[in-house]
Amino acid sequence: MQLIRDGRFVCDRWIRIGAETASEGGDSNPAAGCEPADDGRPTLVRGSEIGFDLDPDTPMDRMRHLAKHAALLVVRFPSPTDGRGFSVARTLRDSGFGGELRASGPLIADQYDFLLRSGFDSVEIPRALAKRQPEKFWRDGMNGLGDTYQPRDAEHRAILRRRHATTLGSTERTHAGGESLP
């Protein structure tokens, strides 16, 4: 797999536990290295830090539990059009996960901006795809879209916040109105 961070192809310092999945041979099946962490054992290590692979099917409570102990969470995308991972990332960020969030699968550079805006820091793609979609595509994709309409995007890009910056300041609501909840 090729790791991409800040629009650059970089080396992965994390080591996948289980030698047979750590090799580049995993490329024939981009998801081969990413088994759901059912038994609670970490699937990645870096020094004293641990990381987990997450399948988008993993129950959200389980993901939140793993997030408490992890410095890295790798969210598997079975295909570029299976968009569950975007919501997984958003949910993990909303529940306070501050470690590295990585998207893994046959994703394309045109999705990079969406991935970053959903809360991911890094992306790993199969080597064969990385040949067809070289680093330059990802660098361009990082800023492929300029301003955006979603208020939660970075201040300098979020159209709605910039329009009303003078009346509202930059304060964001921290919690949705919960009065109707059970």
Partner 1 sequence: MYRYDEFDEKFVRERVAQFREQVQRRLDGSLTEAEFKPLRLMNGLYLQLHAYMLRVAIPYGVLSADQMRALADIADRYDRGYGHFTTRQNIQFNWPKLVDTPELLDALADVQMHAIQTSGNCIRNVTSDPLAGVAADEVEDPRPTAELLRQWSSLHPEFSYLPRKFKIAVSGSPNDRTAVFFHDVGLRIVRSQSGEVGYQVIVGGGQGRTPVIGAVLRDFLPKGELLGYLEALMRVYNLHGRRDNKYKARIKILVRALGVEAFRSEVDAAYAAAPGPSFELEREELARIAAYFEAPRLPDRENVVGLSCVVRAKDPRFLRWLGRNCSTHKVDGYSAVTVTLKRVGGEPGDASSSAMRTLAALADEYSQSELRVTHEQNIVLPHVASRRLYSLWQELEGAGLGDGNRGLITDIIACPGQDYCALATARAIPVAQGIAASFAAPQDQEDIGPLSIKISGCINACGHHHVGHIGILGLEKGGQEFYQVTLGGDATETPAIGERAGPGFSSSEIVGAVERLVARYREQREGNETFLETYRRVGLKSFRESLYAADT
Which residue is it, tokens 């598997």? 76
User: Tokens in use for 110?
Assistant: 């045109």
- Name the minimum Å distance from CB 15 to partner 1: 30
**32 vs 160, beta carbon nearer partner 1:** 160
Q: How far is it, in rounded angstroms, from Cα 16 to Cα 51?
A: 9
User: For residue 156, which amino acid is it?
Assistant: H
Residue 130: CB minimum distance to partner 1, A: 12
Q: Is 177 in the site for partner 1 (CB under 8 A)?
A: yes
Contact present, 70 and 50 (Cβ < 8 Å): yes
**Near partner 1 by CB under 8 A: residue from 80, 99, 135, 139:** 80
- Asked if 176 touches partner 1 (CB under 8 A), the answer is yes
Q: What share of the chain is helix, strand, coil (3-state, %, to 5)?
A: 35, 20, 45
| Residue 166 vs residues 94, 156, 174: alpha-carbon distances, Å | 26, 14, 20
Handedness of CA 23, 65, 56, 176 (dihedral sign): negative
Site string for partner 1, 102-141 (x = CB under 8 A): ------x-xx-xxxxxx-------------xx---x--x-
Least distance to partner 1 from the beta carbon of 135, Å? 13
CB of 23 to partner 1, least distance (A): 26
- Residue ranges in contact with partner 1 by CB under 8 A: 56, 60, 80-84, 86-88, 90-91, 94-95, 108, 110-111, 113-118, 132-133, 137, 140, 144-153, 159-164, 167-168, 171-178, 180-182
